Amino acid sequence: MKKIIEWIINLLTKILSLFVPKRLCHLLTYETVSYLFFGGFTTIVGLGSFALFYYFYGMRAFVAGVLSRVLGIIFAFVTNKPFVFESPSWRPGVLIPEVIKFSASRGLTFAVEILVLALLVDILGLNAMIMQTLTMVIIQVIGNYVLSKWVVFAKNTRDNSCEIGE
């Protein structure tokens, strides 16, 4: 399974390197591309489980939202740990601190996103969809990546930026 995922990530990196300016190629590492790849699947898990809970099981939107967020965080952890940040140990002494830090960092970025969104939309009157998109990308995607890389799974990472596409 890991070999197939590595092959897919390397292929995506090659494809992306065709569209990324040379001066930004250093951003196309195995880690960043795999983070975006699994982030896409995390989004599908979140939206799919929300739809399932809300439409199929008839749960209230708030409950469906909380449950889908929890499932998304669990999926993100299970994929980010081995495939993105390559933290191989599942021993309790390693796993428990990682789970706590990962969950706390996701909770933090979610809270910051909601507060910033309320400020930008409810107080400053800016466009809700544009601000939702910007806060999601800047706070959730970038914030979660930074916290996962430097707090949750802090370690050396492989670097295979853009040489793959050349």
CB 159 within 8 Å of CB 28: no
Predicted local confidence at residue 164, as pLDDT: 46
Q: Which amino acid is at 103?
A: S
Predicted local confidence at residue 166, as pLDDT: 44
82 Cβ neighbours under 8 A, 6+ residues apart? 2, 88
CB 78 within 8 Å of CB 103: no
Predicted local confidence at residue 162, as pLDDT: 55
Question: Is the whole-model pTM more than 0.75?
Answer: yes
For residues 11 and 83, give the distance between their C-alpha atoms in angstroms, rounded to a whole number. Answer: 15
Which residue, 164, 50, 154, is CA-closest to 101? 154
What are the mean pLDDT values of the chain's consecutive 10-residue runs (166 residues total)? Answer: 92 93 91 95 93 95 92 96 93 95 95 93 93 91 94 70 49
- Residue 26's CB: how many other CB atoms inside 10 A? 12
Which residue, 131, 130, 141, 134, is CA-closest to 40? 141
Predicted local confidence at residue 154, as pLDDT: 86
Task: Copy the structure tokens of residue 9.
Answer: 């990530």
For residues 63 and 81, give the distance between their C-alpha atoms in angstroms, rounded to a whole number. Answer: 27
Secondary structure percentages of the chain, helix, strand, coil, to 5:
80, 0, 20
